[in-house]
Amino acid sequence: MLKQGIRHFIILLALSLAALPLKAADSDSPAPPASDGTLPGLTAIAGEGMMQSEAYRDLQYLSDYIGPRLTGSPGAKEAIQWSLARMRALGLANVHVEKYQMFRGWTRGFASAELLSPIHRYLKVDSMGWVGSTPENGVTADVTPVNLYQLDQEMKENSSKWAGKVLVMVTRGEAPKDRFQLFVKFGNFLKAAYAAHAAAVIGGQGGSEAAGMDITHTGILGFAAYYPIPVVSMAAEDQEQIERFLDQGKTVSLKINVQNHVTDGPVECANVLGEIRGTQYPEQIVVAGAHLDSWDLAEGSTDNGVGAVAVLDAARAILESGYKPRRTIRFVLYTGEEEGLLGSLAYTKMHQSEMKNHVAALTLDNGQGPVVSLELGGRKDLIPAVEQFTKAVAAFGNLKVSDHAVFDTDTGPFILQGLPGINMGQDSPEYKYTHHSAVDTFDKVKPEILEQDATLMALTAYWIADRPERLAGPWPPQKTAQMLVDQKLDKMLKAIGLWPFGNQDSKQP
């Protein structure tokens, strides 16, 4: 306890020292917090965030008592009601849900696999999300390898041999440089495998082998996409044994049984919102958000319980500091992120008329590690100003600032609106094992890191909302389109149907 208290004191001291008079900045340089009037609020928020955090307690309740929060499921609905109650208890204004329709609902049944030859043993498998089922009693079939790195060739030359087979994804040769294009191509392969009457596919998200020891990883296989063929993730140890048998020329056969349930039409989902109203420019909005939904093999603690409770604790720290920002901070817990950014896309659609008044959108969704970077969603023009802020909060680490545009979380829809969708990048080396897996549990999260990340979210949101000058406004569509081309994201966005710019991707004069 003493050691933690000393750490808190050092952080507050570092912030306080930043308030000392500084050498006059160049007139063209953005003002630092010590000069723009935000530092007293930042110091008070840091104290509330680090000394009074409720984030770990909230995460335990969300993890242990609500648990899996698959979008559209009873668990997700319970989490929405809990979030509403927490926002109201904190004292946020305008607390409400905003409903939207998800393309269809899906519920996991069970999955099993049994190796029949050349030896007999049971295998560890779990179904991927939004995929189909085998016949009621399962199927017995031989296993055929498919090279993930040569899917075009495989579909052209070998699909006629897939009928009645279990296809196992293998990796041979040089890996494609564009991993997301491979993810898109894997979806096309699943359609071809279903059309060819393959029995099932062994291959995780994007066809990848499961990371870690004796665990599987679930996940959706396309943006808002359902594939009627059963697809399973298999523990790496079991999959590699199958591959060894195949490499030795053995006939490998197994029995596989996958039973899932899918709705015929859309299901209702919702985002949860609450606000701290701005005192001077209440119509200008800074969003601080994370996704509340999770996968269903475990508790969803690191993906993304951490982000959800950080949003709530960021709101608490700002409210309890007694400082009110000039602009409105809107705290949003999205659902449907795991199925293709559905909640954040619904938010930007519902609030389209307000987008011109949005300033920025923060997102925390990179696991259980400390925040190490702020990625500004293509907005290179904002780097100097944000670097002034990161210098003032150097006690939280040497935060790197870049214009990297991140589209694998809820920053993406805001970037498409021309806004700085700011990803709070984290150093989470164990995340590759916990995310989407049966070990995504509360015990994987360290309380001191969680409270630091929540506090940094509070500080960042408050600084953007309270600075005298507006940090940013939305870029025009052509400028955003060109930035996405420059960052080589246009092909990916077009492939998944998220490119809204038509032909506005040519070089500007």
Across the strands, what pairs with 318? none
Asked if residue 25 has pLDDT above 90, the reply is no
Smallest Cα–Cα separation from 282: which of 351, 329, 328?
A: 328
Residue 2: band (very low, low, confident or very high) from pLDDT cuts 50, 70, 90: very low
pLDDT one-digit tens code per residue, 258-275: 999 999 999 999 999 999
Helix (H, G, I), strand (E, B) or coil at 411: coil
Summarize the confidence of residues 381-410 as an average pLDDT: 97
Residues 6+ apart with CB under 8 A from 316: 48, 52, 54, 90
Asked if residue 23 has pLDDT above 70, the reply is no
Where exactly are the structural domains of the chain?
Answer: 25-103+267-475, 106-262
Residue 181: band (very low, low, confident or very high) from pLDDT cuts 50, 70, 90: confident
Residue 177: band (very low, low, confident or very high) from pLDDT cuts 50, 70, 90: confident
Cα–Cα distance measured from residue 171 to residue 119, given in angstroms and rounded to the nearest whole number: 24
Smallest Cα–Cα separation from 155: which of 109, 186, 132?
A: 186
Cα–Cα distance measured from residue 234 to residue 252, given in angstroms and rounded to the nearest whole number: 15
Asked if residue 123 has pLDDT above 50, the reply is yes
Give yes or no on whether 25-103+267-475 and 106-262 have one common fold: no
pLDDT one-digit tens code per residue, 337-379: 999 999 999 999 999 999 999 999 999 999 999 999 999 999 9
Report the CATH number of the 106-262 domain: 3.50.30.30
Cα–Cα distance measured from residue 3 to residue 232, given in angstroms and rounded to the nearest whole number: 46
pLDDT one-digit tens code per residue, 437-472: 999 999 999 999 999 999 999 999 999 999 999 999
Note whether 90 and 312 are within 8 A (CB): yes
Summarize the confidence of residues 404-417 as an average pLDDT: 97
Asked if residue 21 has pLDDT above 90, the reply is no
pLDDT one-digit tens code per residue, 136-165: 999 999 999 999 999 999 999 999 999 999
Summarize the confidence of residues 209-226 as an average pLDDT: 96
Q: What is the side-by-side strand order in the sheet with 421-426?
A: 93-102, 267-276, 327-334, 281-291, 358-363, 421-426, 371-375, 400-402
In this predicted structure, what is the pLDDT of residue 109? 97
Smallest Cα–Cα separation from 314: which of 342, 286, 294?
A: 286
Cα–Cα distance measured from residue 470 to residue 498, given in angstroms and rounded to the nearest whole number: 28
Q: What is the pTM of this model?
A: 0.94
Summarize the confidence of residues 303-325 as an average pLDDT: 98
Query: Is it true that the peptide bond before 477 is cis, omega within 30 degrees of 0?
Result: no
Can you tell me which residue has the tokens 């082998």? Answer: 209
pLDDT one-digit tens code per residue, 28-41: 789 999 999 999 99
As a whole number, the mean pLDDT across the chain is: 94
Tokens, residue 50: 């680090």
Tokens, residue 319: 């409210």
β pairing state of 106-117 and 121-123: antiparallel
- Fold topology of 25-103+267-475: Aminopeptidase (3.40.630)
Q: What percentage of the chain has pLDDT greater than the value 90?
A: 91
Summarize the confidence of residues 292-302 as an average pLDDT: 98
Tokens, residue 434: 């916990």
Residue 13: band (very low, low, confident or very high) from pLDDT cuts 50, 70, 90: very low
Phi, psi of 476 (to 5 degrees): -65, 155
Smallest Cα–Cα separation from 105: which of 303, 297, 339, 410?
A: 339
Residue 26: band (very low, low, confident or very high) from pLDDT cuts 50, 70, 90: low
Asked if residue 495 has pLDDT above 80, the reply is yes
